[in-house]
Amino acid sequence: MTRTAFVSGASSGIGRATAVALAASGFQLVITGRRRERLEALAQQLAPTPVHILTFDVRDRAAVEAAVNSLPAGFQSIDVLVNNAGGAHGLAPIQDGDPNDWDLMLDSNVKGLLNVSHALLPGMKERQKGHIINIGSIAGHEVYANGNVYCASKAAVAALTKAMRIDLLPLHIRVAEVNPGAVETEFSQVRFKGDAARAAKVYEGFDPLKPEDIAEVIQFMVTRPANVHIAEITVLAGAQGAATLIRRE
């Protein structure tokens, strides 16, 4: 029987790579994001894997609920949810931070995760099965200078993951967190408001993780037998010792 995976933020980076990896493992996919043209290109790449596209912003609870309720019958039974959508906005000490950036991070990284999970959990509850992977960050476990609200949002993801795992245990729903370190994606371009040169400097002098590295970890986690529950994994680049400790050469 074909399993269905729902991947948020699938238009780029870790989400896109995860969709590719899960398709290779035999999953059919619901891929979501705000940039439909990118999702359509991904769906074409994944052919002949069955793919359904949903376009919404995870911060908009009503849009999330409407999108999930619109799923055709063949895509309604979600076996795996990958809560990947989110990001970092700005890098400044708390006294100089932009409250608009704070809202973006808390609304996408925390409330967005809750919105998508809330929309899909009734079906998982009814079927008494499911597997949720929340994409956290090393930043959720190590606060660093100027990372304040982003770190707080990912610390919330870590706490929510543990709480969800406890609450959903009686329903046979597994919940896990993947905490990437330095992954070269559009992450830094978003954080630095499109400043490509500044973003590139983040990854200079070492070999960062690639989105595919994280996708392979997720693929492994969701293909374990029912008696195996990998609850949390932290993945650092080979040259990385901590959130901000990187050996550059």
Residue with tokens 């899960």: 22
Query: Domain for residue 103, yes or no?
Result: yes
Helix (H, G, I), strand (E, B) or coil at 52: strand
Confidence of residue 194 (pLDDT cuts 50, 70, 90): confident
**Placement of tokens 């967005």 in the chain:** 112
- With respect to residue 161, please indicate whether it lies within any of the assigned structural domains: yes
Give the mean model confidence (pLDDT) for residues 133-151. 97
pLDDT above 90 coverage of the chain, percent:
92
Distance of alpha carbon 13 from alpha carbon 17, whole angstroms: 6
Average pLDDT value for the chain: 96
Task: Give the pLDDT of residue 185.
Answer: 83
Mean pLDDT of 150-177: 98
Read off the pLDDT of each residue in 114-135 and give the average, rounded to a whole number. 98
Integer Cα distance of 146 and 32 in angstroms: 30
Domain encompassing residue 13: 4-240
State residue 117's pLDDT score.
Answer: 98
Confidence of residue 237 (pLDDT cuts 50, 70, 90): very high
Helix (H, G, I), strand (E, B) or coil at 15: helix
Read off the CATH number of the domain in which 187 is found: 3.40.50.720
Catalytic residue among 56, 75, 150, 187: 150
Domain assignment present for residue 246? The answer is no
150: annotated active-site residue: yes
Q: Per-residue confidence at 218, pLDDT binned at 50, 70, 90?
A: very high
DSSP assignment, residue 112? Answer: I
CB 28 within 8 A of CB 49: yes
pLDDT value, residue 113: 98
Any domain includes 245: no
Q: Quick one: pLDDT at residue 118?
A: 98
Domain-embedded: residue 195: yes
Return d(Cα 159, Cα 162) in angstroms, integer: 5
**Is 84:8 a contact under the CB 8 Å cutoff?**
yes
How many structural domains compose the chain? 1
Residue 192 maps to a domain: yes
User: Does residue 63 form part of some domain?
Assistant: yes
With 80 as the cut, is the pLDDT of residue 211 above it?
A: yes
Q: Return the pLDDT at 216.
A: 98
Question: Residue 113 is inside which H or E element, if any?
Answer: helix 113-127
| Domain assignment of residue 83, yes or no | yes
